[in-house]
Structure 1
């Protein structure tokens, strides 16, 4: 009887509750009106933070947009209606040495690592890599694809087919949208002469100049390479005409002035691509900001790509210019862009190494000058040097860099133990929130010494922002866009990457 009484009272309470809700003020036909006083659901913001002290290493935290009106004096306003260059992406060089080291790993570990850096959902989302067109100072040997005179002898080298191409295929299986740039360190030796006056054969891998009588052969060499790689399932998105054309001293090199490059492009390479129906982009220069002008022979090489662009017969074949950061300042990009705004800019090489490397200093410097610094100067891509070297900085070639560090170093005692260096985190902070195809957008408002930032609108309608604080104390910042804002205090000497749905 007691249980029946309890059940009766419960039914009565439920009935009265329903009757009250049905007849309560503000309701109609038993359906409550939406409470318009409630704010929209709070949208999360992904944030990734790395500190120079390594107390935080790409640590993910979640923020929410501010619920109150933004009155912050530290406000940076983003304007997605003001857009600049389209960004191709970020990545590293997959040299012969890198691919050799990767293939020394067991298959499962290698796949896990490549997924970590190339997967666009669970990983960092690298989207642009650079490879050598032939040998480099990080190959297992010196070689070209046509060491025996005569273009009928062209063939991809074993180092490419055994190491580079298999790794590229594994990468493309993870992220098919990765763009690949190829750069030659030297043409075949039989195409080289000691100088353009004497025109004597130069049978050496380093130095020398391209014999003008071999311009057509060398253009055919590029065409055959692009087609051979395509036949192996690898599309070459872009080529640079010569790696470091003003550097005679690498283990494999070619000296090529802007005058030579102009003539080669307009009389041979450009027409050869057009005839063969090749859409691979031709990128000029590919060397330091200062044009190695400290060397007297380079005195007339200042603004190298701009001088080529002044010739319309050459310029019509050229997509843009590429730069390295071993000399000069990224402000040179401002000059080139302002002079020729229709030509693209790429950053294609910087290495870290034992010439003063510290994680803290290089993390800060590279993000300020190579990452954010080049993007804010209309650069389309940021590519650093070797993705992976062993703990002895190799394999490498005598005459090249013998104390470079990779983005990641691997211990060759087990080919398992990895050390992620500063470049790993530089690239992670860029590629995780800035997708290939993103458009850089306008930022305005709060500025202060030691604070650097860039912002984009991604193809999937997300917003990506990278903020760097190089100061010894924390720095507050508020990001505002479309009537919403979020605030964060960056730790001393740190970088934070933000991403949210627009």
Structure 2
């Protein structure tokens, strides 16, 4: 896999996002005041499908049985992942490799979706792309055969105990130096003329490497192509947070899902998974993916890697614990609700509800503790449980916090992520966890989103 450019743009963004922390590094640790975080439990946003990563036996070996439990179990020392991404090998003789981990993920309640890097070799031709005479593309007379190839994979997995939630048309069609290129018009043609023949699963497209809208705008603007797309998938390598919102999808994406299907952040440096406070950038990125992009799923690259949520020895990394602050508590079918997203310079918060609970994830990127007040609207609770990860703790449970008149105050340690969970009273439960993305009808408050 060619990752040099991805590494470069990720490092640049990591340096930019780290500047506020570097600038305040000399300040003494103290408790600082912040604006209230107001959580409107009636102002619903997107339904969350889940969090997870890819298992890629063909490239780095399968997860072991124990590692599958760590990834998809939701007990102590487990990540609670609820989405697994798998590889559609161009050679069907290798499809068996995907079955063991996918079956166990399904048994643990996870959704499984699949992405291809290349069609079968007999469907590919080379062409001259900007001087590269070995660039690959799908032959124009093989579009229907390729759709059948994807159908065959769906059927194979189903016959082996794995009902795929979705299948993608192509992994990163716009960053295909080592796999198959698709232009926006080629992708549009397939989505219009062939994607409708893919059966028994949802169809995902286009999985642009950098959430480049030129790959997906044509699909959204074409009624037939849009009808054949169930999930708009995107990768966010080097994507600026300012480019996370997608107004055209908000306008035309009613009934469709919006997933972030691959990233590593802030880099893929060797043995970086436990570096602190660098690992805190993972939850910071996830916050923006949920709040600014309205993604319904957040899927990491390799689940097990020296820069991933699970280290090569099968233990959870600091980056993994940051993901777990979301994945263990915000379960499939939960709904994000409006909350003050940035109550203080270095504090970032988001809130979710489901199973008659409210879940709040609060990130303090500053080097000082922050005293943060949370206010619940259109619902109440009596006590709040909390878990924190910082330089010395990994998802460590805290003491119960009392709620008074619909509000509670907590101290956010320096450079930390904290998840708060409370059982709700006086609020209606989420009734339709199978709904797809709906255009928001609630006017965003100035402090929310």
TM-score (norm 2): 0.73
What is the alpha-carbon distance in structure 2 between the residues aligned to residue 341 and residue 471 of structure 1?
37
Q: Give the 3 Å change call, closer, same or farther, for CA 210–445 of structure 1 in structure 2.
A: closer
Q: Give the 3 Å change call, closer, same or farther, for CA 98–213 of structure 1 in structure 2.
A: closer
Q: Give the 3 Å change call, closer, same or farther, for CA 85–446 of structure 1 in structure 2.
A: closer
The offset of 1:317, in angstroms, is: 0.9
Match of 2:320, SS?
helix
Q: Is the Cα contact below 8 Å between 2:311 and 2:317 reproduced in 1?
A: yes
The offset of 1:196, in angstroms, is: 8.9
Unaligned segments of structure 1, at least 5 residues: 1-51, 53-71, 104-109, 135-143, 146-155, 292-301, 392-404, 411-416
What is the alpha-carbon distance in structure 1 between the residues aligned to residue 59 and residue 120 of structure 2?
23
Match of 1:215, SS?
helix
Aligned length: 356
Match of 1:434 in 2: 330
The offset of 1:280, in angstroms, is: 1.5
Q: Choose which of 178, 191, 215 in structure 1 pairs with 2:123.
A: 191
Q: Is the Cα contact below 8 Å between 2:115 and 2:169 reproduced in 1?
A: yes
The offset of 1:170, in angstroms, is: 2.6
Match of 1:428, SS?
helix
Deviations 1:104-140 (A, max 9, x none): xxxxxx33x4334323455442111111111xxxxxx
Deviations 1:357-415 (A, max 9, x none): 4622442222212x1111112100001011124x6xxxxxxxxxxxxx332222xxxxx
Match of 1:304, SS?
helix
What is the alpha-carbon distance in structure 2 between the residues aligned to residue 406 and residue 446 of structure 1?
27
Q: Is the Cα contact below 8 Å between 1:75 and 1:445 reproduced in 2?
A: no
Match of 2:137 in 1: 209
Q: Choose which of 90, 97, 102 in structure 1 pairs with 2:51.
A: 90
Match of 2:68 in 1: 114
Of residues 256-265 and 91-100 in structure 1, the stretch that sits farther from structure 2 once superposed is 91-100
Q: Choose which of 474, 480, 489 in structure 1 pairs with 2:411.
A: 489
Match of 1:457 in 2: 353
Q: Is the Cα contact below 8 Å between 1:132 and 1:183 reproduced in 2?
A: yes
Unaligned segments of structure 2, at least 5 residues: 1-17, 19-32, 381-404, 425-449
Superposition pairs for residues 55-66 of structure 1, below 5 Å? none
Q: Is the Cα contact below 8 Å between 1:289 and 1:330 reproduced in 2?
A: no
Superposition pairs for residues 271-420 of structure 1, below 5 Å? 272-273=197-198, 278-289=199-210, 291=212, 302-335=213-246, 336-342=248-254, 343-351=256-264, 352-354=267-269, 357=272, 359-369=275-285, 371-376=286-291, 377-389=293-305, 405-410=307-312, 417-420=313-316
What is the alpha-carbon distance in structure 2 between the residues aligned to residue 283 and residue 407 of structure 1?
25
Is 1:422 the counterpart of 2:318 in the alignment? yes
Q: Give the 3 Å change call, closer, same or farther, for CA 316–445 of structure 1 in structure 2.
A: closer
Q: Is the Cα contact below 8 Å between 1:290 and 1:329 reproduced in 2?
A: no
Deviations 1:185-236 (A, max 9, x none): 0111211122399xxxx9x7xx411111000100000111101100000011
Q: Choose which of 437, 440, 447 in structure 1 pairs with 2:343.
A: 447
Match of 1:140 in 2: none
Superposition pairs for residues 12-23 of structure 1, below 5 Å? none
Match of 1:264 in 2: 190
The offset of 1:260, in angstroms, is: 0.5
What is the alpha-carbon distance in structure 2 between the residues aligned to residue 189 and residue 353 of structure 1?
30
Is 1:473 the counterpart of 2:407 in the alignment? no
Match of 2:367, SS?
coil
Q: Rg: which structure is higher?
A: 1
Superposition pairs for residues 135-284 of structure 1, below 5 Å? 144-145=90-91, 156-158=92-94, 160-161=95-96, 163-173=97-107, 175=108, 177-195=109-127, 207-250=135-178, 253-270=179-196, 272-273=197-198, 278-284=199-205
What is the alpha-carbon distance in structure 2 between the residues aligned to residue 125 and residue 406 of structure 1?
15
Match of 2:387 in 1: none
Q: Is the Cα contact below 8 Å between 2:34 and 2:370 reproduced in 1?
A: no
CA RMSD of aligned residues (A): 2.6
What is the alpha-carbon distance in structure 1 between the residues aligned to residue 281 and residue 239 of structure 2?
14
Q: Is the Cα contact below 8 Å between 2:124 and 2:136 reproduced in 1?
A: yes
Q: Is the Cα contact below 8 Å between 1:440 and 1:455 reproduced in 2?
A: yes
Q: Give the 3 Å change call, closer, same or farther, for CA 118–445 of structure 1 in structure 2.
A: closer
Q: Give the 3 Å change call, closer, same or farther, for CA 445–467 of structure 1 in structure 2.
A: closer
Q: Give the 3 Å change call, closer, same or farther, for CA 317–307 of structure 1 in structure 2.
A: same
Match of 1:44 in 2: none
